[in-house]
Structure 1
């Protein structure tokens, strides 16, 4: 199964960014237990590569986020990441593709979407999605009907059905889903939020 197929099946990418490595790992494990099976650990997290390595054996789909450079891509792959996510086009995209790491390339405008597809991105991370909303995604899909879009940025549980109806392959959710759990916050509250997001997918 490819990352695009995994996203099509699960419809939710859980994004983890935090300052407590142990809490980041426990956040991921809690999400997995709630059925959120495609995860991203941002490289801006403290000891992100260690977190990726600790999760690589238990999470089939564990991606590295905020991949900006060739060094980022190489270190993420070596740590066990199965895909890469970038906030924008650039070296992180091309390097990931060259080393065989599927990439969700960050893009916003039609020109950037076209560039991401031309570069060989597996999917386009539409970012920041909340600034434009589901109607913008629907408008983009008119000229790009075959592009797998994953909107990311400020997506609430109430927004999820609207983005999926607008044609999103999946939605990527960070703080509205994980809250303060990656910094040592309440895992029970995280589990409740995850359950609500999973329910919103149906």
Structure 2
């Protein structure tokens, strides 16, 4: 597992403070929201479970910006960011919504540079050792290993020898709350959970519910954090 940068380096590369926020609870939810009522219901379920960090997949429409602003104001206890940002228009949408961190599925140098200039934390997507090294050279505060499920939990730690020190890593893509603990124990620093979080709706009379695993995962992380504090 990577070490957090020192204070001055964190401030420079992660102006949003995202990595510090993930230190105690290294889990992010990724939602694709378009309809207000469903988005509010999903976020209410995540708040009730105790989750703190949520990414909203960007849509390049004024309606998405308005919805993201409303959700940010309605859920002050959540740390909301933007997901699936692949272009400068997506970065601009995140800025307009007041979101101070963004996550991308790709490594795009121009996008990373623009985010750095704007004082926004951007986490680029990587898959290969070359992309990991390139992201580090470009000053990325962390990387998103994507799609992680196709690589397996041991992949990230296998890069430690040739690429040490590894950057902070968020594993994403095809992961569930039930296998997230294995990934965290295998060397990644955080996990992002998407479509696996909620039960598929069975109709208007069956409200969306969380799938099993998230509450137990968050409880385990809280115990781990408390143990770290006591041992320190």
Q: Fold match, TM over 0.5? A: yes
Counterpart of 1:54 (choices 51, 67, 70) is 70
* Runs (4+) off by over 6 Å: none
Match of 1:92 in 2: 111
1:70 aligns with 2:88: yes
1:40 aligns with 2:55: yes
Q: Deviations over 1:108-130 (max 9, x none)?
A: 11111111122222210000000
Matches within 5 A, 1:1-202: 2-44=17-59, 47-57=63-73, 58-90=76-108, 91-142=110-161, 143-180=163-200, 186-187=207-208, 189-190=209-210, 193-199=213-219, 201=221
Distance in 1, matches of 2:60 and 2:50, equals: 23
What is the root-mean-square deviation in Å for CA atoms of aligned residues? 2.5
Q: Deviations over 1:46-82 (max 9, x none)?
A: 8432332112231452110111111211221121112
Larger Cα Rg: Structure 1 or Structure 2?
A: 2
TM-score (normalizing by structure 1): 0.86
Relative distance call for 1:174 and 1:116 in structure 2 (3 A) is: same
TM-score (normalizing by structure 2): 0.76
Distance in 1, matches of 2:173 and 2:146, equals: 6
Q: How much does 1:193 deviate?
A: 5.0
* Consecutive unaligned residues in structure 2, runs of 5 or more: 1-15, 225-232
Aligned pair count reads 200
* Consecutive unaligned residues in structure 1, runs of 5 or more: none
Relative distance call for 1:56 and 1:166 in structure 2 (3 A) is: same
